[in-house]
Chains A and B, each alone.
Chain A
């Protein structure tokens, strides 16, 4: 990165008693970036957030904000604000007082407070709600108050801790859009915590996948999805088919001759594999191509199998089937308006292949 990072974690570890919550985390977050910490519950993502906001101190390591070490400075002295999972709106204060709280703590002049609160309420479409109490608002409105309250202090970084978990699906999509929009508008760095990979992909510039207190992979949503570096990431960010393979011969240009589930294929990978090495071949359901056997349209190589079940999903159809060697696979096909004979029936014999180069090949031990 050319510009210095706005936020940096250097060798951060955290123990709670004997349990290791975080293990040697190194992370740089660029100014203006929308970064998401993604992982299953208990992976340490919330602990990172709490270390950034100042509610936990790391056992080892240091935290830097805008070049200054803030490892042991209290939350109130950090130019970082948080949108809490439960919103944590002050129930005894009106919306206006909730939003004005930060400015009042800074002892800003009254005129300035009034002006800034009014402006920020307008920005989150709550201009008429200043007199309401938090319990009189809907979930989405409470969410907006929480955001307004957090950004009014002009933080360098805004932290969001699973802010949508209390909202229903439709509202969640809308708030995702609004937050992304807001982030572009005000241009500050957002650090977002979620366990929902779709949410992470929809909003982030970069995603940090975590598991058991360590960072597994950092990258753009596309990189994470299409080039997972481990089986954990591959499985966590979506459905995936895992096939067993053996490298038969290496060819120049990252191409390998291999046998996958007993069928010879050409594999592409930037990783180095030795001859005779066992590998895992990962394929997203939508990367698989399925043909009825009688079509015979495609060239080998392909697998032969039987349809088990098809699941209608609206935009796609999930196809579950079993290969002749017993391996179960899942494929997803988009509806094609022009091709209505996509209807497979259980028991249909099919052949399966994939677009060459779309596979991810991992070392067999690379769990």
Chain B
């Protein structure tokens, strides 16, 4: 319960509450409302949009062109999210169970890439998987392959880039939720005769589900929206959602369509947020804790 100094209701209190609301209203609510509005307007090649209401933009989202873009994007994003989850869970678990002296350092090594510019990390990946990259050089040197592998400008490169870039975003929320686990619970489950796998399935996993969902939000949504990864690693081969939206604004100058297509992202965000709330209520932990871990890393 909050303790509120009611008689001392100060001007500061009123001002800071008003300021916070103003910030949220001006910086979040207003831009998003305008975005939503534009999605219902007609395009205009000169003035970006004209004030006549239409549903055409949303109709265009069901055209084969956009559906193809969406399918490719979601397929890749899902793959990288899944791989991130499978790779991050045992890693986060091992991290959470590491010795108290070692753990801060291990954690720090995850936080560093977490804070590092994704663009630069994506670029660094070229040095590894490019035609002249270290992977090819090593494989050639060891005689594993006869000719350099064409890794760049493929779906695989984009997938690898997403996984590489967003893996820390999966590890940290998972770590936060696993660390909170009461070790006694797993022991109790084992005492009751549950095998390791059953303990995990019935006790560990449900309790860390909020962390799983938080990690998926932090990997899946940026995978869909970050246009630079496919543009750098995928070249011009496949258009993904982020690039599609960007192009509507900066190239095709079809703002209403861009606004409408971005609603897919917002919709997914809302769905995942609801899922997160559902799982965290089930896990009965303090609400939202794993989400707090994003970029904070404490």
* A/B touching: CB–CB < 8 A: yes
A interface, CB within 8 angstroms of B = 54-57, 71-76
Query: Closest Cβ of chain B: how far from A23's Cβ, in Å?
Result: 19
User: How far, in Å, is A195 (CB) from chain B's closest CB?
Assistant: 20
Given contacts A54-B5, A74-B9, 8 further A-B contacts (CB under 8 A): A55-B7, A56-B7, A57-B7, A73-B7, A74-B5, A74-B10, A75-B8, A76-B8
Closest 7 CB pairs of A and B: A74-B8, A57-B6, A57-B7, A72-B7, A54-B7, A55-B5, A75-B8
Instruction: Please count the residue pairs between chain A and chain B whose beta carbons lie under 8 angstroms apart in the complex.
Output: 24
Judge whether B3 is part of the interface by a CB distance below 8 angstroms: yes
CA distance A74 to B7 in the complex (A): 5
A55 to B8, CA, bound (A): 7
Query: Which B residues contact A (CB, under 8 angstroms)?
Result: 3, 5-10
Chain B residues lying within 8 Å of A57, measured Cβ to Cβ, are 6-7
Residues of chain A within 8 A (CB-CB) of B8 are: 54-55, 74-76
B5 contact set on A, CB distance < 8 A: 54-56, 74-75
Taking a contact as CB atoms under 8 Å apart, the answer to whether B10 and A55 are in contact is no
**Complex Cα distance A72/B9, Å?**
9
CA distance A76 to B11 in the complex (A): 14
13 example contacts (A-B, Cβ-Cβ < 8 A) are as follows: A54-B5, A54-B7, A55-B5, A55-B8, A57-B6, A57-B7, A73-B7, A74-B7, A74-B9, A74-B10, A75-B5, A75-B8, A76-B8
Once bound together, how far apart are the Cα atoms of A193 and B225, in whole Å?
Answer: 59
> Closest Cβ of chain A: how far from B282's Cβ, in Å?
27
B243 to chain A, nearest CB (A): 50
Give every chain B residue within 8 A of A55 (Cβ-Cβ).
Answer: 3, 5, 7-8
Shortest distance from the beta carbon of A72 to any chain B beta carbon, whole Å: 5
Contacts of A56 in B (CB 8 A): 5-7
Question: CA of A72 to CA of B6 in the docked complex: distance in angstroms?
Answer: 8
Closest A residue to B1 by CB, please name it. Answer: A16
Among B3, B8, B10, the one with the most A-chain Cβ atoms within 10 Å of its Cβ is: B8
Task: Give min CB distance, A79 to chain B, whole Å.
Answer: 15
C-alpha spacing A338/B295, complex, angstroms:
79
A72→B5 CA distance, assembly (Å): 10
CB of A354 to closest CB in B, whole Å: 48
A81 to chain B, nearest CB (A): 15
- Which of chain B's residues has its CB closest to A16's CB? B1
Question: In whole angstroms, what is the CA distance A54 to B10 when docked?
Answer: 12
For residue A63, which residue of chain B has the nearest CB? B7
How far is it, in angstroms, between the C-alpha of A43 and the C-alpha of B6 when the chains are bound?
21
The CA-CA distance from A91 to B35 in the complex, in Å, is 48
Cα A71 to Cα B6 with chains together (Å): 11
Instruction: Look across to chain B and name the residue whose beta carbon is closest to the beta carbon of A56.
Output: B6
B106 to chain A, nearest CB (A): 30
What CA separation (Å) do A56 and B1 show in the bound complex?
14
Complex: A57 Cα to B6 Cα, angstroms: 6
- Measured between C-beta atoms, what is the minimum distance from B134 to chain A in Å? 50
CB distance from A9 to the nearest CB of B (A): 14
Q: Which residue of A lies closest to B10 (CB)?
A: A74
Shortest Cβ distance from B142 into chain A, in angstroms?
A: 59
Query: CA of A3 to CA of B3 in the docked complex: distance in angstroms?
Result: 36
B residues less than 8 Å from A73 (CB atoms): 7
How far is B10's CA from A56's CA once the two chains are assembled, in angstroms?
14
Closest to A77 in B: B8
**List of B residues within 8 angstroms of A54 by Cβ:** 5, 7-8
CA of A58 to CA of B39 in the docked complex: distance in angstroms? Answer: 52
How long is the Cα–Cα vector from A73 to B9 in the complex, in angstroms? Answer: 9
Give Cα A231–Cα B35 distance, bound, in whole angstroms: 70
Which chain A residues border B3 with CB–CB below 8 Å?
55
Q: Which residues of A contact B9 (CB under 8 A)?
A: 74
The interface residues of chain A lying within 8 Å CB-to-CB of B7 are: 54-57, 71-75
Chain B min CB distance to A161 (Å): 13
Give the distance in Å from the alpha carbon of A75 to the alpha carbon of B4 in the complex: 12
Taking the nearest CB of chain A, how far is it from the CB of B265, in angstroms? 40
A73 → chain B, closest Cβ, in Å?
A: 6
